[in-house]
Structure 1
């Protein structure tokens, strides 16, 4: 699937999130997938600016209430959950500031992070002031990097953007793996998504990442578009030749590095 096609499918699905009830049902779907896969929690990426301002299809209050109710239901079922604000990289830092302008006043306590996604068209060094502002508000910082852009984006995100968590990172080179390992930067690895959106990256670098000491954990990005859950990602990792010890390391890293489990 071309990445542009993924974006189109994502935008089509986002049209359905037009009420508190619709947002609540979306969280419930995440809860069902997490429980079915044996997970204990989830970090949920959400795009309030796109829905509230760009589309104008839901109020911010209704959006927050749908998330809050869904997370409360998840907790009753034994799951921990939190929200990560999603900004679009190729829209640039001005868009990132707009996301923060919208969300920081009255930011709910279940929002734990800020991240960029989309096409990696804007240098991460240009995003540094946005990341600094989000960090000053108490948010953790992540970025999709080395997915549809060059592996050098991963290094730039960490060294010049101050990013503390990478999503994907699959195009990074060995020196960057060493950097990630040295700094203890967690990397969310999403084999199903990578297979669909980056079929040119073969073999998948997850085994090399683990050998280099990178703190990898399995993630799902994005099950609303690409069919996947944690069980499928674990099976994909096992098919790469990872043994029981490596799979246990992935689970441990997830438990230690997912923001939903942190105060």
Structure 2
């Protein structure tokens, strides 16, 4: 395709309208302040914030841990299956407006089971929203169970055992929460067990933690994708490996800035990642807290980085489909739709 034929003034419209997948979205991180207040009132739970404005003002994070503190507090309003459904349904409706064809949704069961919420309550609400989203919105979605890395290996094994009766409702496992002091190797045995069970494997690495955590996730956990991974550029050999093996990175630009990984988006390495052949993708991470859903992440990144144009937009969207945990025939259909969309833009 001759991407040079696409006027730059059309780029933002293309970013909004092009079909895409989202592979790094924490469903608890899509819990908007309005829904937090609504669920708190419905469940008779007091909040430490009197108004929406007070809650939003608390979204001033200095690092990952300061974000996690308020993230876990917000998740406390989730009490019933209907609450989990409402949260996921709200995200899926937003994903449709962003022309997301497929989403792979992270959920953190330990955040809820540790406060007495049954695993069944969590998974049943989320899965009902996923099913309804497919039927009514035309948005394909899958669930990925994430272990909290600040908890113990024993706790991760316990969470896995609790989840196994619902094995048909999630496709894989991931590793999230604070990286500092919690290297991937801590969960090598848990991931080995998940691999035996045929689950797809991903892990957060190389955002707050060093580039070496990315290597650990690949070598010890045997993951198929790296969530974040932006610090790979600190290790040229790792960069070459990621590019050669086409290991997808699910990068979250607005999150990276909000959590002070980079001072602003103009310093973000997305252009460098693509230029060296890494299969990077754009995602929203925890959009209710970090200032934007998927399209906002695309628009802000392309505005801040003038080296990104229509060619890179196409590559990012194609990467997102290629990296998805879906049947090859289904992915080929999404890519054909993407190709047709850009062919029309190039001919216009």
The bucket for the TM-score relative to the shorter chain is: over 0.9
Structure 1 unaligned segments of length 5 or more: list them: none
RMSD: 1.7
Residue 182 (structure 1) aligned with residue 244 (structure 2): yes
SS in 2 for 1:224: helix
Structure 1 counterpart of 2:336:
none
* 8 A contact 1:81–1:260 mirrored in 2: no
User: 2:79 aligns to what SS in structure 1?
Assistant: coil
Paired with 1:211 and 1:95, the residues of 2 have a C-alpha distance of 40
Task: Give the match for residue 312 of structure 2.
Answer: 246
TM-score between both structures, scaled by the size of structure 1: 0.93
Aligned mates of 1:198, 1:50 — CA distance in 2: 24
Deviation at 1:223, TM superposition (A): 1.5
Is this contact kept in 2: 1:41–1:261, CA < 8 A? no
> C-alpha distance in 2, partners of 1:209/1:178?
11
Higher helix fraction: Structure 1 or Structure 2?
Answer: 2
Q: 1:140 to 1:93 in 2, by over 3 A?
A: same
How far apart in 1 are the matches of 2:252 and 2:69?
Answer: 20
Q: Superposition pairs for residues 179-258 of structure 1, below 5 Å?
A: 179-200=241-262, 203-239=267-303, 240-241=305-306, 242-258=308-324
Q: How does 1:1-263 map to 2 (within 5 A)?
A: 1=61, 2-52=63-113, 54-56=114-116, 58-76=117-135, 77-104=137-164, 106-120=165-179, 121-173=181-233, 174-200=236-262, 203-239=267-303, 240-241=305-306, 242-259=308-325
Contact 2:72 2:111 in 1 (8 A): no
**TM-score, normalised relative to structure 2:** 0.71
Helix, strand or coil for the counterpart of 2:175?
strand
Structure with bigger RCO (C-alpha 8 Å, 6+ apart): 2
Q: Deviations over 1:10-52 (max 9, x none)?
A: 1022112210100000111111220121111211111112212
Distance 1:48 1:260, change over 3 A: farther
Identify unmatched segments of 5+ residues in structure 2. Answer: 1-60, 331-348
